[in-house]
Chain A
């Protein structure tokens, strides 16, 4: 087979420009969507996105993507509205249902499974002219913080390929960080967008619970899950979120709240904004390089005219235990549908139906998923429900109350480190609980349902450091305002690549 023609240099260059420029060029006919798609695939080839190197994608379909792109060109030719992401190549995490590529969730149990319906977020991307170029690698069923739990091999961090990209949306983070796409969808349950964004030096947004439809997002912890966006810049992330956000008739937990234009916050000043610095997120043992970068960011806020106020979220320490009861409990139930009856893997057994169930699930699920199903089943089982699940949900209510209290006290947003450490090396974290602690600063926002995002704030010995901004429910605009301001203030010293330029 002869290799597809390479994209013109102008298209390749356009991929490193902000999305607004990209979309404007496409709309004006200065760039063809198919050239942008080619540029993305060329970049993936050049950088080694394949399974032997970065292992970013679990599926790509260059032919289909090119077809879609040509369809868009026809639309633009007929002067029909091509949408806010016209021609933009987008990578989608593999737990989000798509019609044209498999949706495996990084699991053997769904190997080759092609969904007969598409997630609402994907429909919205397509309706806005985006072109889905591939499905990204992830920890199996989004259970993990390093993408090492993928059944299809780990993804590597483009900043340093000996290190993990974080997880579970590691493939999406790597796709953006490696410059293959400007925008990718990930999903969050306890930090799975923000933590990899932080590890890879990009922007990652977890919206308010209910802001984005979960229809078509394969459930892990239903009361925590939310689709999020990964992007190079705050503005790109704002544009991406605006497209996928909104109420959905197919998701009872999606909120009927109007979607503001987040990118309008770009030029809003931060004068008078109150930034809360919760002391529980700056423990003594915090990596000093991370602490230092956070202080620099807080100084920048002060310089922008914001007030930095020390606050307390007293129940923070319990967020990991609560999270690791609630999420596995819900997961143990959500993953019951993978039984080999209607779709996915089926392993026959001599022991009839029960044997088929057990063999299918034992073979289909990897060790971490198995561990969490067992844990979740245990905490829900007779005699333990009150001590674990009910207790955890009660403490969760207190964690949510902490956020309400601090925001009611006049604090507009909170600023914290995103992770306790920078990206670690593959295989470095072996104990499951030690891995769970990667979510220590992120899981609380999922438990409380509030929006949070990570933006690059500097580096620690060449490894990206992320700062987290947390806002009240549906207050994404003020969260973006704080992010735009900080990004502006720190401009020029963010990504390793941009630094040397």
Chain B
């Protein structure tokens, strides 16, 4: 049974998103926060929770958390408090997680995820943004009967972004997540990669009869590893709840795990009542008292967010709304475009190239735009060469291909490959004469006034010149030869 088939019920969704902050070191110690090191090598007394070790908070983590909070229009609390969340787990070395509880970093923000047909904006409230640390990694399938613990991740800084239960469909949840990801990426807060685990999503879902004001009993859905998995899990869990309600049953508040292979949620085996986290203020960390002037500076230094960038680009480069939307889908791509547009002084061409050749090449190479070998300044130079007739459009594509291969600047590639336009009369005349000699019949007809053959002949000259001949000049010279 699909969700759409039960019009009597509406879905109510709130999302809890954990995001890893893009810092060099961990939240409370100087260990590297990088992935991929051999197990338990990015560790120190603090993140191993050795007896006597103490946490010291990373300023950059606070700055990135603030950026996220401000980008989401949250109210930043001048004083926030870290707390201990106590539970035993082998990859939680201290036996508690340092998190924020009743006094989070920021509260009461919102995110506009779209608009209704009548133009009313659809807003999702942000309940809170708080800072916390990640746990280590438990590997359950490596050794028989044993769990292997790697604490390289332990203590990596996270923020948790908790939304209000303001979403009414899986599609809205998806839109929220995609926009949130875009904003966090634009503001440099995080790499926001679900694959690498730098973004994790848990969903609170309930079903209620459409029009009801009270919320139904919710379940928490976990274990989703992509945005589309979140959407599928929400639809599936909603359908399960609706079926339960329609058959006269009640929803039990519990944790559900998404099983992507089976396409269904199932109840987690851990007992809900066993959780009593005994939160209390972390005595090793005094309250975080923020200098609100600094907070202001952090806010002003936030890189332009997607919405603003779209609007600016439409005005500045005369882009269509659709093109601007496409370009700003990724912060990197829109930054690349702007750099090319500025270097080439030709936004139109920059748009065509970035959306066409560049996107294709980036996808083919499977790299991020900031790793792409052709730097925007070099592409800008190539476009300038096209505009100034130094290379033909056809030749430019070949130059670009070589630039992708070699990473060399445009002028150098064009020179090395002999792909600059040849506008020199002597050389052109030589090619034209050769073509006329090799095609005596056509030459004769052309000279006798059959001007429609001009195109064919120009084409042959271009072919002979391997695209280097300046077609405008070839046309001109060919006409002159005909009159001879």
Contacts and interface: CB of A to CB of B under 8 A. Distances in A.
B90 interface: yes
B284 A252 contact: yes
B86 A97 contact: no
A310 to B, nearest CB: 34
Interface residues of B, number: 28
B93 interface: yes
A214 B96 contact: no
B49 to A, nearest CB: 4
A115 B50 contact: yes
A333 B95 contact: yes
With most chain B CB atoms within 10 A of its CB, the pick from A249, A251, A380 is: A380
A336 B86 contact: yes
A389 interface: yes
Contacts of A337: 49, 51, 93-95
B44 to A, nearest CB: 8
Interface string A346-378: 000000010001000000000000000000010
Interface in A1-57: none
Given A113-B51, A330-B280, 16 more contacts: A115-B50, A214-B54, A215-B54, A218-B51, A219-B52, A249-B56, A252-B55, A252-B56, A333-B96, A333-B280, A336-B86, A336-B95, A337-B94, A338-B51, A380-B278, A389-B280
Interface string A156-200: 000000000000000000000000000000000000000000000
B48 A339 contact: no
A252 B286 contact: yes
Interface string B84-98: 101010100111100
A95 B51 CA distance: 9
Contact of B276 (A116, A250, A381): A381
Contacts of A251: 54, 56
B147 interface: yes
Interface of A: 95-97, 103, 105, 110, 113, 115-117, 119, 214-219, 221-223, 249-253, 329-330, 332-333, 335-339, 341-343, 353, 357, 377, 380-382, 385, 389
A217 B52 contact: yes
B45 A116 contact: yes
With most chain A CB atoms within 10 A of its CB, the pick from B84, B96, B149, B284 is: B284
B52 A97 contact: yes
Interface in B387-435: none
Nearest to A353: B90
Q: Which 8 A-B pairs have the closest CB atoms?
A: A336-B95, A222-B283, A223-B283, A380-B278, A216-B52, A218-B51, A337-B49, A97-B52
B149 A341 contact: yes
A343 B50 CA distance: 8
Contacts of A217: 52
Contacts of B45: 116-117
Interface string B55-67: 1110000000000
Contacts, number: 104
23 contacts: A96-B52, A97-B52, A117-B45, A117-B52, A117-B53, A119-B52, A218-B52, A223-B283, A249-B56, A252-B55, A252-B56, A252-B284, A253-B283, A253-B285, A333-B84, A333-B280, A335-B95, A337-B51, A338-B51, A341-B93, A382-B278, A385-B278, A385-B280
Contacts of B54: 214-215, 219, 250-253
A332 B96 CA distance: 11
B147 to A, nearest CB: 7
**Secondary structure call for the A interface:** loop
A160 B84 CA distance: 44
A336 B96 CA distance: 8
A258 to B, nearest CB: 19
A215 B53 contact: yes
Contacts of A96: 52
A366 to B, nearest CB: 16
A336 B283 CA distance: 15
B51 A103 contact: yes
B51 A110 contact: yes
B56 to A, nearest CB: 5
Contact of A115 (B51, B90, B286): B51
Contact of B50 (A116, A329, A330, A339): A116
A253 B284 contact: yes
A410 B283 CA distance: 31
A448 to B, nearest CB: 15
A250 B53 CA distance: 8
A216 B90 CA distance: 23
A292 B286 CA distance: 42
Given A97-B51, A337-B94, A382 B56 contact: no
With most chain B CB atoms within 10 A of its CB, the pick from A110, A250, A377 is: A250
Given A215-B53, A216-B52, A380-B278, A357 B88 contact: yes
With most chain B CB atoms within 10 A of its CB, the pick from A103, A113, A217, A330 is: A330
A219 B56 CA distance: 15
A382 B278 CA distance: 7
Interface string B37-52: 0000000010011111
Contacts of B280: 329-330, 333, 380, 385, 389
Contacts of B94: 336-337
Nearest to B284: A222
Contacts of A215: 52-54
A251 B95 CA distance: 20
Nearest to A254: B54
Contacts of A110: 51
A96 B283 CA distance: 19
Contacts of A253: 54, 283-286
Contacts of A335: 95
Given A117-B45, A252-B57, A342-B93, A333 B52 contact: no
B39 to A, nearest CB: 13
Interface in B234-283: 276, 278, 280, 283
A97 B65 CA distance: 34
A343 B56 CA distance: 23
A92 B19 CA distance: 43
A103 B54 CA distance: 17
Contact of B283 (A119, A330, A342, A377): A330
A216 B51 CA distance: 7
Nearest to A105: B51
A451 to B, nearest CB: 19
Contacts of B52: 95-97, 103, 115, 117, 119, 214-219
B445 to A, nearest CB: 89
Nearest to B29: A250
Contacts of B86: 332-333, 336, 380
With most chain B CB atoms within 10 A of its CB, the pick from A96, A222, A249, A341 is: A341
A180 B221 CA distance: 63
A250 B54 CA distance: 7
A194 B2 CA distance: 72
A436 B243 CA distance: 59
Contact of A339 (B51, B57, B95, B278): B95
Contacts of A385: 278, 280
B284 A341 contact: no
A97 B276 CA distance: 32
A115 B276 CA distance: 32
A335 B52 CA distance: 11
A322 to B, nearest CB: 14
A377 B52 CA distance: 21
A223 B280 CA distance: 12
Contacts of B56: 249-252
B199 to A, nearest CB: 28
A322 B284 CA distance: 19
Interface string B118-159: 000000000000000000000000000001010000000000
Nearest to B82: A252
B102 to A, nearest CB: 11
With most chain A CB atoms within 10 A of its CB, the pick from B52, B86, B90 is: B52
A81 B374 CA distance: 58
A462 B57 CA distance: 51
